[in-house]
Amino acid sequence: QQQVKQSPQSLIVQKGGISIINCAYENTAFDYFPWYQQFPGKGPALLIAIRPDVSEKKEGRFTISFNKSAKQFSLHIMDSQPGDSATYFCAASKRQGGKLIFGQGTELSVKP
Amino acid sequence: ETGVTQSPTHLIKTRGQQVTLRCSSQSGHNTVSWYQQALGQGPQFIFQYYREEENGRGNFPPRFSGLQFPNYSSELNVNALELDDSALYLCASSQILERETQYFGPGTRLLVL
């Protein structure tokens, strides 16, 4: 059962543009939603995370938007740069659950 | 502050063999989780350890086992290796009061021939 669905599978954006990646979850018990960035041959790096008591969280060029009623959340990367080219994973977990459920990943390519 | 480290970086084994992977958690973290990441997929949770005991397990067979040591480092053991075990094995550390906030190591790439 795919508990976290991520789209698109791949994304090409011009330098300076906005990259948007979407995720949907099924389990209403989830209450922690992180995004990870992974470069080839490296482990995932925690980028930004949100809990459902807020609808938006911003850290630098990265913003998470959260829609609890729709059970959806998204990552926006503003002013995308070639160095942002990587695979991005959304994930979900229960508070204190310890088990992260990951989406399938989105391969982002930012063209100069 | 040191991050999560894993060893070895790469490993080649043959079907039926056994393998041990190692992880040192980030300083100040007492909980370790292991994930398997197949090529082109998201990581899949194997299990989590806290105070040297398994504290949650994903949908993996018993031939996947682990240990945690008093210094919070951890091992992942896989017996009777199968071709499908070829993957990137990731270790993540966290604090028990925020187990869901996990920081990953660089992983061990295992190839089973």
| pLDDT tens profile A91-109 | 999 877 789 999 999 999 9
Residue A38's SS3 state is strand
Give the number of A-B residue pairs with CB atoms closer than 8 Å.
Answer: 68
Which residue, chain included where needed, has tokens 């310890």? Answer: A98
Task: Spell out which residues of chain A touch residue B92, defining contact as CB-CB under 8 Å.
Answer: 100
pLDDT at residue A61 tops 70:
yes
* CA distance, residue B56 to nearest chain A CA (Å): 8
SS3 A84: helix
Query: Residue A112: helix, strand or coil by DSSP?
Result: coil
Q: Which chain B residue's Cα is nearest to A37?
A: B104
Which two structure tokens, joined as six digits, stand for A36? 């990870």
Q: Which residues pair with A22 in a beta bridge?
A: A7, A74
Residue type, B95: Q
Pick B42's closest partner by Cβ from A41, A97, A104.
A104
The dihedral region occupied by A71, where left means phi > 0, alpha psi between -120 and 50, and beta the remainder, is left
* Averaged pLDDT of chain A: 94
Cα–Cα distance between A1 and A107 in angstroms, integer? 22
pLDDT in tens, chain B (113 residues): 569 999 999 999 999 999 999 999 998 899 999 999 999 999 999 999 999 999 899 999 999 999 999 999 999 999 999 999 999 999 999 988 888 889 999 999 999 99
Q: How far apart are CA B65 and CA A1, in angstroms?
A: 24
Total H helices, total E strands in chain B: 0, 11
The torsion of the CA quartet B100, A40, A75, B31, rounded to 10 degrees, works out to 10
Residue A1 pLDDT level (bands cut at 50, 70, 90): low
State how far residue A60 is from chain B, nearest Cα, in angstroms. 20
Q: Are B93 and B100 in contact (CB under 8 A)?
A: no
Residue A2: per-residue pLDDT: 63
Residues in B closer than 8 angstroms to A104, CB to CB, are 41-42
Nearest CA in chain A to B47: A99
Residue A68 binned pLDDT confidence (cut-offs 50, 70, 90)? very high
- Return the half-sphere exposure (C-beta side, CA atoms, 13 A cut-off) of residue A91: 29
Helix (H) or strand (E) holding A61: none
Residue A63 pLDDT > 60: yes
Interface mutation target, options A39, A96, A99, chain B, most CBs of B under 10 Å: A99
Torsion of CA A83, B37, A62, A51, to 10 degrees: -170
pLDDT of amino acid A11: 98
Using a CB-CB distance cutoff of 8 angstroms, which residues of chain B are in contact with residue A42? 106-107
The gap between the terminal CA atoms of chain A, to the nearest Å, is 38
* Cα distance between residue A27 and residue A42, in whole Å: 29
Give B42's contacts in chain A (Cβ within 8 Å).
Answer: 6, 89, 91, 102-105
A77 pLDDT more than 60: yes
